[in-house]
Amino acid sequence: MKNLIKLGFAAVLSMNFMAASAQNKNTENENSLLWEVSGNGLSKPSYIAGTFHILCNKDFDIKAKTWNALNQAENFVMEINYTDQNEMAAMQKMMAADKKISEQLTPSEATELDKVLADYGTTLKNVDTQSPQALYALVATKAIPCPPNEVKMYEIELLKTALKSKKSVNGLEKVNDQIYAIGEAYSLKEVISQLKLGNEYAIAAKKMTEAFKNENLKDLDQLIKDPKFMNKKQEKLVLTDRNKKWVEKMPEIMKAQSSFFAVGSGHLWGENGLINLLQAKGYTVKPVSSL
């Protein structure tokens, strides 16, 4: 169950971080999940790759242009640095709660949650000591239509190559930043509401996967706007606020080394997406069709 929750935690970040507002005029017709960042004093270009954190083996594919961009970069940057043992310890700590879930619910609410969890192959007793964030991660297990041993993590595959090439590896934020965003965005009762939408997550994830494979930004945009998965407050907490923090760090990183940023696809576009925010800072950000 703990491994399933860990997988779910990564996947639910992918689901949520693919949510975004309307495309801006410079990106709405561009079908690419790889973007080049240049100009504004940079001696070498950097790249931003939109990812889908977890995919089944049958759907998994990293295009040649993405590998080529990674090979050209000197520095590999993820949302969090998976090579940092302190960060991995923080993720483990995230799963435990100070107060049992059942103690935060009325008896009738606890009974209802137990029935909902049956659809996820578990019980309230099994997850009672988990945090709401860990419980929320179960949502994403519905979005992974294959067993845990048949999935690949997009960033991990890129990371393996980066390490073989002896590139420097960094993160844009800490695990605690992600935990805070999810915790503030989704209360326990909101998490339970999302758990009830498990089948709808599965349907949405299948469509998102196809759009991702086709690099179809227009279809992704239409799929992710459904407010039942994310309201405006939640979008601000898990997307906008974090994007604005990242875009303040990225210039220094890119100036020091040509960098390859691998982040959830939804961080790229929209009024408050990285593409638009970097353009506003004076950078040239353009889609890459081949490299």
> In this predicted model, what pLDDT tens digit does every residue of 123-167 receive, in sequence order?
999 999 999 988 888 887 777 878 888 988 889 999 999 999 999
Q: Which amino acid belongs to residue 59?
A: D
Residue 54's pLDDT is what?
A: 84
Cα end-to-end distance, the chain, whole Å: 41
73, pLDDT greater than 70: yes
Residue 223's pLDDT is what?
A: 73
Burial of 22 (0-12, 13-18, 19+ CB in 10 A): exposed
The better pLDDT of the pair 64, 141 is held by 64
21, pLDDT greater than 50: no
Q: What average pLDDT does the structure give for the chain?
A: 86
pLDDT band at 108 (very low <50, low <70, confident <90, very high): very high
The whole-number average pLDDT for the span 66-89 is 95
Cα 78–Cα 197–Cα 113 angle in degrees, nearest 5? 105
The whole-number average pLDDT for the span 92-118 is 92
Question: What is the phi/psi pair of residue 129, to 5°?
Answer: -95, 5
* Domains in the chain: boundaries: 2-96+131-287
Edge-to-edge strand order for the sheet containing 259-264?
168-171, 75-78, 259-264, 46-51, 34-38, 284-287
The whole-number average pLDDT for the span 247-253 is 98
Residue 14's pLDDT is what?
A: 45
Residue 16's pLDDT is what?
A: 46
pLDDT band at 229 (very low <50, low <70, confident <90, very high): confident
d(CA 67, CA 81): 19
42, pLDDT greater than 90: yes
213, pLDDT greater than 60: yes
pLDDT band at 97 (very low <50, low <70, confident <90, very high): confident
8, pLDDT greater than 50: no
Residue 217's pLDDT is what?
A: 67
The better pLDDT of the pair 212, 158 is held by 158
36, pLDDT greater than 90: yes
The whole-number average pLDDT for the span 213-229 is 75
Residue 199's pLDDT is what?
A: 87
The better pLDDT of the pair 269, 60 is held by 60
Contact assessment for residue 54 and residue 152, using Cβ atoms and an 8 Å cutoff: yes
Contact assessment for residue 42 and residue 254, using Cβ atoms and an 8 Å cutoff: yes
Residue 136's pLDDT is what?
A: 87
The better pLDDT of the pair 269, 179 is held by 179
